[in-house]
Amino acid sequence: MRGEDWKQAMSKPIKNLIVDSYKRRFEGLTGAVVIDIRGVEANDNNALRSELNGKGVKVTVVKNSLAQRAFAETDLESLNDLLDGPCALAFGQNEDVSVVNVARALIDKVKELENLEFKGAVMEGVVFGADEVEALSKYPTREEAQAQIISVVLGAAGNLISTFTGAGNEIASIVATVEDKLEKGEAIEKVA
């Protein structure tokens, strides 16, 4: 095979391998933040990745056309419109790290590093533009939302219990007063 023929013959199988790798790597992922790290100095890039890794966030540079093929018919398909030019995906390494956590971890870094830019994000099929990622970072995480709901439910239940126990305590007090007066042989007044 001549050099050019070999290059074309290998191109499609290699691309298919990369698509398959993306499918495995991003399987089950429902959200990610798309960033542009072009122009970030190598030392800053390594420090950024290391810091994010400590927070459970992984950063992966992707080939747009191959990522778009891999994301077809998945929760990440909405990212395809954001994949333009050099892109990297920032995502949680496990289920405990949501896209909200990822956005929070990146907010200060985007302000700190001159060439680091948001391209957007997707969370469970909802697309956030580059200018909306900061708003996304202020959303409650799943755990925070669950805690808020539990707090509201427990607060309402506590108020209900207080109402019943307050009335019960008042009745118990009246009964105790009546019993005390009966034992002493005192007259019982009519309670209005």
- 176 and 111: one domain? no
Residue ranges of the alpha helices (H) in the chain? 3-25, 42-54, 64-71, 99-112, 133-137, 142-184
- 10 and 55: one domain? yes
Residue partners of 168: CB distance under 8 A and separation at least 6: none
Give residue 98's region: left, alpha or beta (phi > 0; psi -120 to 50): beta
- 176 and 96: one domain? no
- 126 and 94: one domain? yes
- 178 and 128: one domain? no
Segments forming the whole domain that contains residue 167:
140-192
Give residue 25's region: left, alpha or beta (phi > 0; psi -120 to 50): alpha
Own/partner pairs, 68-73, CB within 8 angstroms, 24+ separation: 69/19, 70/19, 70/20, 70/22, 70/23, 70/26, 71/22, 71/26
Q: How many domains is the chain partitioned into structurally?
A: 2
Q: What is the pLDDT along the chain (192 residues), one digit of tens a residue?
A: 555 555 555 588 888 899 999 999 988 888 899 999 888 888 888 999 999 888 888 999 999 989 999 999 888 888 888 998 888 999 988 777 788 888 888 888 888 888 888 899 988 888 888 888 888 777 665 555 455 555 555 656 566 666 667 667 777 677 777 677 677 777 667 655
pLDDT at 155 (0 to 100): 58
- 63 and 42: one domain? yes
Within 10 A of 166 (CB to CB), how many other CB atoms are there? Answer: 10
- 11 and 96: one domain? yes
- 127 and 146: one domain? no
| CATH code for the domain of 36 | 3.30.70.1730
The amino acid that residue 175 corresponds to is V
Strand partners, 122: 32, 127
Three-class DSSP category at 35: strand
pLDDT at 95 (0 to 100): 78
- 58 and 84: one domain? yes
